[in-house]
Chains A and B, each alone.
Chain A
């Protein structure tokens, strides 16, 4: 039976924890709003970009750029792993590193070498622990505010690496923000660039113009300029999605923690009251017992 003092201390401790988890929940909520704002700001750019790229790709053909051509003998595979810098966000990072692990397991080609570019501390730690080669690491990006230059600098190195033969294939693993409660780890091929699908399903009024662009310089050159940029755009999008998912995951995790704290405080208060009652009863028994003894 715990003493009254013990239970009281425990209740105080849990209350403090609850304050912290609640504060973290609120911080995550406000950051989530910021991250969603950044995603909204990016959407017009991304949509227009893929629209232009789609119409160009159709004109220039599949072999217009070395970035489009798959290699036959894939030996060196590079993976860009996006995770968060900080923990306390449920299974968020585990899901992503598991995604990386499964990807390696399912696609293991004999003798393929894997190397990694890590966005986020958790992914880097995972790579270190599993003795993977880390080509580059970027900390302090995911989960905070970052500009497009982060994606373009990292993307340029990947494109250069692909062109000079350091990498035969490049993948990116990130967390897609589906809804507040749902974020999926996604593996996407960055290089060679998969055939670009022209989607003319929901572009609205602009479709009628798409076919007849005059291009300056030629469509091939324009595509050569745009394709590397497409890689940066993909990386930037992945980072935005991962950031948003991280905050959403932390929000949910902290919400659950706060609820768990409330439950714990309830049951501890019950235990405290019970212990108090037991103490009073024992005291009463003592007094009654003493009085009876005196009478006798």
Chain B
């Protein structure tokens, strides 16, 4: 087995993931990238989406991240995100109601609707639901 790399996912509220991984796949804003141990120092912003990694036993795990950036160093990857949660911790009900609210806001078509905000909220909710429902 290859050497493992340290993965840390932190949000302003708490640390979500802190463990060793074999490989980390992160949704970079200019394309997804994978990090193995010995990666050159690298810094990228992240899209809203799923971060994948294989833990030490080789199981694939998923973490939802939004509004974040990642720093890769030869021995570790640090992800700073405004919100992040493991797949099993995603609150699907909440995401669904958030998606509905955002949709309503977009459809209402009022002048004071912040479209960009509503759209990102919708996208965030949909990504959460998608990730929670993939098996």
Binding site for B on A (CB under 8 A): 38, 41-42, 44-46, 48-49, 52, 56, 147-149, 151-152, 206, 209-210, 212-217, 222, 225-226, 229, 233, 236
Inter-chain contacts of B89 with A (CB < 8 A): none
Known contacts A206-B73, A217-B29, A225-B69; is-contact A45 B12 (Cβ 8 Å): yes
Query: Interface size (B, Cβ < 8 Å)?
Result: 25
Inter-chain contact B43/A56, CB cutoff 8 Å? yes
Given contacts A213-B42, A236-B12, 9 further A-B contacts (CB under 8 A): A41-B15, A44-B8, A148-B83, A152-B82, A209-B74, A214-B43, A217-B44, A226-B69, A229-B82
Minimum Cβ distance to chain A for residue B96 (Å): 18
User: When A and B form their complex, which 9 residue pairs have the shortest distance between CB atoms, in order from nearest?
Assistant: A148-B12, A216-B44, A41-B14, A213-B43, A213-B41, A45-B10, A209-B41, A214-B42, A215-B43
Chain B 34-61: CB-based contact to A (< 8 A → 1; otherwise 0):
0000001111110000000000000000
23 examples of A-B residue contacts, CB within 8 angstroms: A41-B14, A42-B12, A45-B11, A46-B12, A48-B80, A52-B43, A52-B69, A52-B71, A52-B80, A147-B13, A149-B82, A206-B73, A209-B73, A213-B41, A213-B43, A213-B71, A214-B40, A214-B41, A216-B28, A216-B29, A216-B30, A216-B43, A233-B12
Chain B 58-75: CB-based contact to A (< 8 A → 1; otherwise 0):
000000000101010110
Known contacts A215-B43, A225-B45, A225-B69; is-contact A148 B82 (Cβ 8 Å): yes
A-B Cβ contacts below 8 A, count: 75
Inter-chain contacts of A233 with B (CB < 8 A): 12
Main secondary structure of the interface of B (DSSP, over half): strand
Known contacts A52-B69, A216-B30; is-contact A222 B12 (Cβ 8 Å): no
Whether, in the assembled complex, B78 has its beta carbon less than 8 Å from a beta carbon of chain A, the answer is: yes
Q: How far is it, in angstroms, between the C-alpha of A197 and the C-alpha of B105 when the chains are bound?
A: 42
Minimum Cβ distance to chain A for residue B114 (Å): 10
Inter-chain contacts of A147 with B (CB < 8 A): 13
Chain A residue at minimal CB-CB distance from B29: A217
Inter-chain contact B12/A217, CB cutoff 8 Å? no
